[in-house]
Amino acid sequence: MTSKIFRAKAPLRISFCGGGTDVSPYPEEKGGAVLSTTIDKFAYASLRPRKDDRLKIQSLDYDIQVDYHRSKLAYDGELDLVKAVARRFDMPTGADLFIHADAPPGSGLGSSSTMCVALVGAFKEWLNLPLTNYEIAEITYEIERKELAIAGGKQDQYAATFGGFNYIEFLKDTTVVNPLRIRPEIKNELEYSLLLCYTGQTRLSANIVASQTEAFISGKRPVVDALDRMKELTDLMKRALLTGDLPALGEALHLAWTEKKQLDAKISSSRIDNLYQLARRHGVVGGKILGAGGGGYLLLFVPFTKKHKVAQVLSEADANVVPFSFTEGGLETWSISA
């Protein structure tokens, strides 16, 4: 008898501005907004049903292989995200799960949330569930933020599920994904003007987010003002993209990075500051550390005439420039006969 393998892939994202305004309780109190796009780096999940009740998980990223009974999935710090997804759905049998991503966890490209989206997608495909994109993103958010109590926002789940350029609004009772109709020549020019640079460091984003959230709740003025200003800059960047004013977007990136660093001292580091200043000296207009901060990837906007020089000096500083392209699609699921 032929068996089936159920697969899913979801794209990682780069966020231009607004990260932090998607973290509760800011959106409930003031409404948040994020501008982001997905890129050609992905998180993958493959699921093969078993005839017994074992759940076998293999993670290429962590070089871990584990074996559990599907009804005994205790959270113990080892692949808890995968266990939480499995616990969310009514599994008729055990399964073999294989997961991997094109960027390491803690890189700032939303890889953990994107992996969760891919896992939910694989279970959806296996169980033939009629879930909408909004439902998939919300389930993923609930698994991470409520079930596992991992500090963080909502943007990554929606970005990975929907894909493409989106202006995402986070309101008190709902999230609205607004796809942006950007002219092809503007997308190409923006892609040509951006550098993605891996700093060589990863970090646990939840620690930074928790500290930032505590500062907002306690009403620390610099943090509240920085979040408000970042939301304004997110709207400015959206308009710059839609009108094709890319120099304005580059300058807003620099302003947003200045504001972002006000949220928590751990968002930047001497390594990040040195790389950014080096890049600015050689022509970069603006940029930011992606994700919560503390490490991962730098996103830099630089005129194309200076792009190769910036890439060279960053490489000489032991940072890794990573080629990428924008993608339009979001979560994809499919099955094959094995």
Confidence (pLDDT) at 104: 76
Confidence (pLDDT) at 292: 64
Confidence (pLDDT) at 295: 77
Distance between start and end Cα atoms, the chain: 10
229 burial type by CB count under 10 A (0-12 exposed, 13-18 middle, 19+ buried) = middle
Q: Which residues are catalytic?
A: 156
Confidence (pLDDT) at 40: 97
Give the Å distances, CA to CA, from 290 to 47, 98, 131, 142, 166: 30, 27, 29, 23, 16
**How far apart, in whole angstroms, are the C-alpha atoms of residue 84 and residue 260?**
31
| Fold match flag (4-180 vs 184-326) | no
pTM for the whole thing?
A: 0.94
Distance, CA of 109 to chain centre: 4
**How far apart, in whole angstroms, are the C-alpha atoms of residue 215 and residue 218?**
5
Give the Å distances, CA to CA, from 97 to 50, 52, 86, 89, 265: 10, 14, 10, 14, 38
Confidence (pLDDT) at 62: 82
Superfamily name and number for 184-326 = GHMP kinase, C-terminal domain (3.30.70.890)
**How far apart, in whole angstroms, are the C-alpha atoms of residue 156 and residue 153?**
8
Q: Name the amino acid, one letter, at 294.
A: G
Q: For residue 228, give the 3-state DSSP assignment.
A: helix
Q: Which residue has the tokens 């803690």?
A: 106
Segment-wise mean pLDDT, segments of 10 residues, the chain, 338 residues:
88 95 93 97 97 94 90 92 95 95 82 95 97 98 94 93 98 95 96 93 67 82 92 97 97 95 86 94 95 82 95 94 95 95
Q: Which is it for the CA torsion 291, 138, 145, 221, positive or negative?
A: positive
Spell out the domain ranges in the chain. Answer: 4-180, 184-326
The yes/no answer on whether domain 4-180 falls in CATH 3.40.50.300 is: no
Cβ–Cβ under 8 Å, residues 302 and 279:
yes
